[in-house]
Chains A and B, each alone.
Chain A
Amino acid sequence: MRVLIRYLTKKRDGAISSRDEEINAETISFGRGSSNEVILQSVGVLLIEGSIHHRNSEFFYEVDGAGGNTLIDGFSKRSSLIKSGSIITIGPYDIKILETVKDFDLVISVELVREVQTSLKSLKTNSRTRIDQVLFGKRSYSWAFAIIILSVFLIWPVADRYILVDTNLGKKSLEKKHWPSNGDIAWTSGEISGSHKFIGNDCSVCHEKPFQQVKNTVCSSCHSEVGQHVEPDGYQDMKNITEASCQSCHKEHQGNMSIVRSDQSFCANCHTQIEKIALSSNLKNVSDFEKNHPQFSPTVITNATKGTTERISLDREVPPKENSNLYFPHDTHMKGTGVFVAKTGETKILGCADCHVQVGNNFMPIRMDEHCSDCHLLNFDADQPARLLPHADFNTVKLSLREFYSDLALRGFIKEQKVEESINRRRPGNESKVTEEQKYEALEWAEMKAKRIILRITNRAACGSCHNILTINEDTDDYKIAPVLVTDRWLPKGMFNHAKHTVSDCSSCHLVSNSSSSSDVLLPKVETCQNCHGGEKASQKVPSTCISCHEFHLPHKGKMNIAGNITN
């Protein structure tokens, strides 16, 4: 059959050019391959797509092999009759059956109707080669960050703290109802100190007004009894201490630690030259516990009778002596052979704790009836060993003796040979008939006995063994026990925690075994402490700062005027 093939090409300006080709073949095959009668050179076209056959003066299109790309008049068919007007679609090509013209059995047009991407175009279309093609612009991220941060860390907290406040209750309403925590929680400049943690996350407890430093009144609303460090009117130029703001020393939000200053330099700033700064205070210069700390100057009782005390350095040429009006030789009591316990008749080796009973950091007062009387029995009459004198003043003792002996005499129980006959002769059976003369004799004897015993117990063997006996009037037998005054704390300005030192023997600090007098001040010297304790920066000793032993706020100096004239 003779076929006219008209190739149509669309130009850029839209006009269509055509090129005719005449062929004579049994079948007209279509496909990519060069063996086809009609070569459809394009991507998406198979080597052989199909072919037109001529049978019984009719034309048929038959798809080659599996085919699949071909539509005949819009339908996907394996084979179909075609006639004038039919359109065979193969990939991007349309093949139209035109009206036959003279000399030709079949006229068809071939046109590339669907644009095909070029290699470069498809490569460029598929590819993303710059980051700005796959990300939003930097500006978008910047805006997003700015808005999120502003909202979470400024707008919400400010609204929660200052704007959305329930004015009726004066409380923040938002967080209670809608949020698990305060908006301003992220404003904290650091963890609050352990002792203030009970405040929780309520910043407004201390931060009362915006842009205003926390005032002293906030502190004093709880800490109202804080003492001064020096008397406000005592010295000149001490206002930086007496009128300091709490915050200048006590810094909050430094973490779970104490906000009490413990740095040595803070104290040393003044106390290195305190003799110059506060001359009248009699304080000694100090800068470091190990390197520069004055010797201990215990406050000793110089005269217990008058009640006078004096601070005397342990380094003084004549060591300080305490005059407590009490005689107590430690060496006798601490003998290795022990002491005789009269009450039980046994010998006992005494330890410190037998008298000094520690309770926490302190010691119980030593009491005659608890700690002394087992050995120091107050018996006075060999015939009446069970009878004890009261541990009381002389008048009471005298009265007690008189009563005791009068009772004996009047009831005729005197055991003394000489007086037995005259006073006891009425017995037995005539007790009720005591004559006036007998009464007088008996009372006279009783008075004599009492007086004799009083005389005896005032010597060093009895009351005088411990007490200082003052003779008021020897003729009238008027004696008096000198008032006893024992120091409770030799170093009242320092704190020593005995409870923390129980690992050491008492004797490692208190040299009592050679002390024969209660006037000895058995306080260790500062060097003893310095054996173990160093200054703040000590590396081979226990680092100890000033406030390990001393306090800054001293109640006896008056109240720190934090709620008054200092407003900031």
Chain B
Amino acid sequence: MHSSLLVFKNFLYLKISTVLVSICIIAYVIHEPLGKPNGGTWLGYTLGIISLLLIIWLAWYGIRKRSYGSGKLVLEDWASAHVYLGIALLIIATLHSGFQFGLNIHTLAYIFMIIVVSSGLFGLYAYMRYPKLRTINRGEASVGDVWELVASMSSECLVIAQDLNDEVYSLVEESDKKTILGGSLLRQLSGVDKNCISTRALEKISKLAENFTGDEADSARKLVTVMARKVELLNRIRKDIKYKAWLDVWLYVHIPFTVALIVALVIHILVVFLYW
């Protein structure tokens, strides 16, 4: 998924959405309801039905995209329409509300809709931005390669540090055994680890190495060089984890809130007629 999704079929779905939204806005402006504009007028019901159909169709995308090759429309059609009709929903549902909000199930459903659409928009942004950054960050190597590279450097560090004193060795050993990539959700999303054991070990070893002489100094220099390369690779992996996390995390909002929206929507419709 990338920016071509937006220009798909020469902005066909942008055009469709614009026409739909324009009709709704014009109707809203022209309409003179009894009292304030609200969901209970004929236009309110109409906008509500349009919003409902849009939500069902948009949610259907989640199921549709799993079954490839069925139907007339290709997946790009669905994705492009999903984006533009999602934005249209934001406007049409707002008109349906008549800008009347309160502490009730109706506004709750509206808030869920806002969360779903905004997270979807973020997802669109993520898909336009992060895959590119990921490729640049990764360079020629695959993720697996980089991990292997880090591990081999770590082992190499151990070998180099074998004849250095225990303090240095324990730092190298700790860096080998306890270095963490990623971690908690926030750690993954931030892409940095201020307490990275390897980074700290590198700093300390550089300092200790100043006092070494002869063979030890040579080994220490070699160690620092390899460790620095390892740390650099670690940070690149962290960036990759960050990009991947941002590519994934919005779905953890988008999907559960879509379910929440559908449940709230069913209650909203039921209650409106229960207390007609």
Q: What 0/1 pattern do residues 200 to 226 of A give for CB contact below 8 A with B?
A: 000100010011111000000000000
**Nearest-Cβ distance from residue B147 to partner chain A, whole angstroms:** 7
- A149's partner among B147, B165, B184, B267 (CB-CB below 8 A) is B267
| Smallest CB gap from A122: residue in B | B177
* Chain B residues whose C-beta falls within 8 Å of the C-beta of A149 in the assembled complex: 108, 260, 263-264, 267
Q: Are A127 and B181 in contact (CB under 8 A)?
A: yes
Known: A127-B180, A142-B255, A149-B263. A210 touches B166 (CB 8 A): no
Q: Which chain A residue shows the least CB distance to B270?
A: A154
Whether B102 lies near A259 (C-beta < 8 A) is no
Decide: A254 and B179 in contact? CB cutoff 8 A.
Answer: no
With an 8 A cutoff between CB atoms, is B63 at the interface?
no
Q: Is the CB of B276 within 8 A of A214?
A: yes
A186 and B34 contacting across the interface, CB-CB below 8 Å = no
Q: A145-B260, A149-B260 are in contact. Are A129 and B267 (CB under 8 A)?
A: no
Q: Which residues of B contact A211 (CB under 8 A)?
A: 273-274, 276
Closest CB-CB distance, B173 to chain A, in whole Å? 5
Contact of B271 (CB < 8 Å), options: A124, A145, A146, A187: A187
Assembled-state Cα–Cα distance A32/B182 (Å): 32
A119 at the interface (CB under 8 A from B): yes
* Residue among B162, B244, B273 making CB contact with A41, cutoff 8 Å: B162
User: What 0/1 readout, one digit per residue, does chain B (165-204) give for beta carbons within 8 Å of chain A?
Assistant: 1100100010011111111110010000000000000000
Kindly state whether residue B35 has any CB partner on chain A within 8 Å: yes
CB under 8 Å from chain B, chain A span 37-94: 41, 43-44, 46-47
In angstroms, Cα B162 to Cα A528, docked, is 107
Q: A119-B152, A138-B256, A187-B105 are in contact. Are A153 and B273 (CB under 8 A)?
A: no
User: Are A131 and B34 CB-contacts (below 8 A) given A123-B151, A145-B260, A153-B105?
Assistant: no
> In B148-164, which residues have CB < 8 Å from any A CB?
148, 150-152, 154-155, 158, 162-163
Asked if B100 lies at the interface with its beta carbon under 8 angstroms from chain A, I say yes
Tell me whether A240 is interfacial, beta carbon within 8 Å: no
Q: Is the CB of A189 within 8 A of B151?
A: no
- Asked if B68 is at the interface of the complex by the 8 Å CB criterion, the answer is no
In the complex, are the beta carbons of A124 and B147 less than 8 A apart?
yes
A134 with B185, Cβ < 8 A, contacts A142-B255, A187-B275, A190-B38 known: yes
**In angstroms, how far is the closest chain A Cβ from the Cβ of B191?**
11
Please indicate the chain A residues that have their CB under 8 angstroms from the CB of B163 in the complex: 33-34, 47
Task: Report the minimum CB–CB distance from B225 to chain A (whole Å).
Answer: 17
- CB-nearest residue of chain A relative to B33? A251
B106 at the interface (CB under 8 A from A): yes
Binds A, one of B79-87, B127-135, B205-213, B245-253: B245-253
Query: A residues 207-264 with Cβ under 8 Å of B?
Result: 207, 210-214, 248-249, 251, 254-255, 259, 261, 263
A128 to B185, CA, bound (A): 9
Which chain A positions have C-beta within 8 A of B154? 119, 123
Query: Is B155 in contact with A141, judged by CB distance below 8 angstroms?
Result: no
A545 to chain B: closest CB distance in Å?
13
Number of B positions contacting A (CB below 8 A): 63
A338 → chain B, closest Cβ, in Å?
Answer: 56
Cα–Cα, bound, A133→B34 (Å): 54
Q: Answer whether A141 and B180 are a contact pair too, CB < 8 Å, given A32-B162, A119-B155, A129-B188.
A: no
Contact A129 B241 (CB under 8 A): yes
Q: Which residues of B contact A548 (CB under 8 A)?
A: none
Verify if A368 is at the interface (C-beta below 8 Å from B). no
Query: Which residues of chain B are near A399, meaning CB under 8 Å?
Result: none
Residue B77 at the A interface, CB < 8 A? no
**With a CB–CB cut-off of 8 A, which chain A residues contact B256?**
138, 141-142, 144-145
Q: Residues 227-257 of chain B: 1 if any A CB is under 8 Å from the residue's CB, otherwise 0?
A: 0000000000100010011001101100111
Q: How far is the CA of A132 from the CA of B251 in the complex (A)?
A: 11
Query: A265 interface residue, CB < 8 Å from B?
Result: yes
User: When the two chains form their complex, are residues B40 and A251 in contact, meaning their CB atoms are under 8 A apart?
Assistant: yes
A382 at the interface (CB under 8 A from B): no
Query: Does any Cβ of A come within 8 Å of B73's Cβ?
Result: no
The reply to whether the CB of A476 lies closer than 8 angstroms to some CB of chain B is: no
A residues within 8 A CB of B1?
none
Contact B275 A207 (CB under 8 A): yes
Q: Which of A117, A146, A249 contacts B260 (CB 8 A)?
A: A146
Q: Tell me whether A119 and B176 are in contact in the complex, defined as CB-CB below 8 angstroms, given that A127-B182, A254-B38 are known contacts.
A: yes
CB of B66 closer than 8 Å to a CB of A: no
- Interface pair B260/A47, CB less than 8 Å apart: no
Contacts of A146-187 to chain B: CB distance below 8 A: 146, 149-150, 153-154, 184, 186-187
Task: For the complex, give the distance between the alpha carbons of A255 and B150 in Å.
Answer: 64
Inter-chain contacts of A134 with B (CB < 8 A): 183-185, 188
Report how many A-B pairs have Cβ atoms within 8 Å: 169
Taking the closest CB of chain B, its distance from the CB of A313, in whole angstroms, is: 32
Residues of B within 8 A of A540 (CB): none
Inter-subunit contact B255/A138 (CB<8 Å): yes
CB-defined contacts of A403 to chain B, threshold 8 Å = none
Docked-complex contact B185 and A117, CB < 8 angstroms: no
Find chain B residues with CB under 8 A from A254 CB: 35-36, 38, 100
Cα distance, A263 to B165, chains bound together (Å): 91
* A118 within 8 Å of B (CB atoms): yes
- The answer to whether A392 has its CB under 8 Å from any CB of chain B is no
Among A128, A187, A261, the residue within 8 A (CB) of B34 is A261
Cβ of A130 and Cβ of B248 under 8 Å apart?
yes
Q: How far is the CA of A129 from the CA of B105 in the complex (A)?
A: 38
Q: Is A191 an interface residue (CB 8 A)?
A: yes
- Residue B259 is within 8 A (CB to CB) of chain A in the complex: yes
Q: Are the C-beta atoms of A123 and B179 separated by less than 8 Å?
A: yes
CA distance A555 to B244 in the complex (A): 74
B103 close to A (CB within 8 Å) = yes
- Is B32 positioned at the interface, with any CB of A under 8 Å from its CB? yes
Chain A nearest CB, measured from B94 CB (Å)? 16
Q: Is B104 an interface residue (CB 8 A)?
A: yes
Given A122-B177, A123-B147, A150-B263, A189 contacting B169 (CB threshold 8 A) = no
A128 touches B184 (CB 8 A): yes
Q: B188 near A120 (CB under 8 angstroms)?
A: no
Q: Is the CB of B162 within 8 A of A33?
A: yes
Residues of A within 8 A of B245 (CB): 130-131
Q: Are A119 and B151 in contact (CB under 8 A)?
A: yes
CA of A127 to CA of B184, assembled, Å:
9
Q: How far does the Cβ of A235 sit from chain B's closest Cβ, in whole Å? A: 23
Q: In the complex, how many angstroms separate the beta carbon of B113 from the nearest chain A beta carbon?
A: 14
Other-chain residue from B104, B150, B173 in contact with A186 (beta carbon distance below 8 A): B104
- A265 to B33: give the CA distance in the assembly, Å: 11
From residue B37, how far is it (CB to closest CB) to chain A in Å?
A: 10
A residues near B35, Cβ cutoff 8 Å: 251, 254, 259, 261
Q: A263–B32 contact, CB under 8 A?
A: yes
Contact with A along B19-41 (1 / 0, CB 8 A): 00000000000001011101110
B166 x A43 contact (CB < 8 A): no
A318: CB under 8 A from chain B?
no
Given contacts A145-B260, A263-B32, contact A186 B103 (CB under 8 A): yes
3 cross-chain pairs, A with B, having the tightest CB-CB distances, nearest first: A120-B151, A141-B256, A142-B259
Give me 5 A-to-B residue pairs in the complex whose CB atoms sit less than 8 angstroms apart, sorted by A's number.
A120-B147, A133-B182, A144-B256, A145-B257, A154-B270
| Contact surface of A with B, Cβ cutoff 8 Å | 32-34, 41, 43-44, 46-47, 117-120, 122-124, 126-135, 138, 141-146, 149-150, 153-154, 184, 186-191, 203, 207, 210-214, 248-249, 251, 254-255, 259, 261, 263, 265
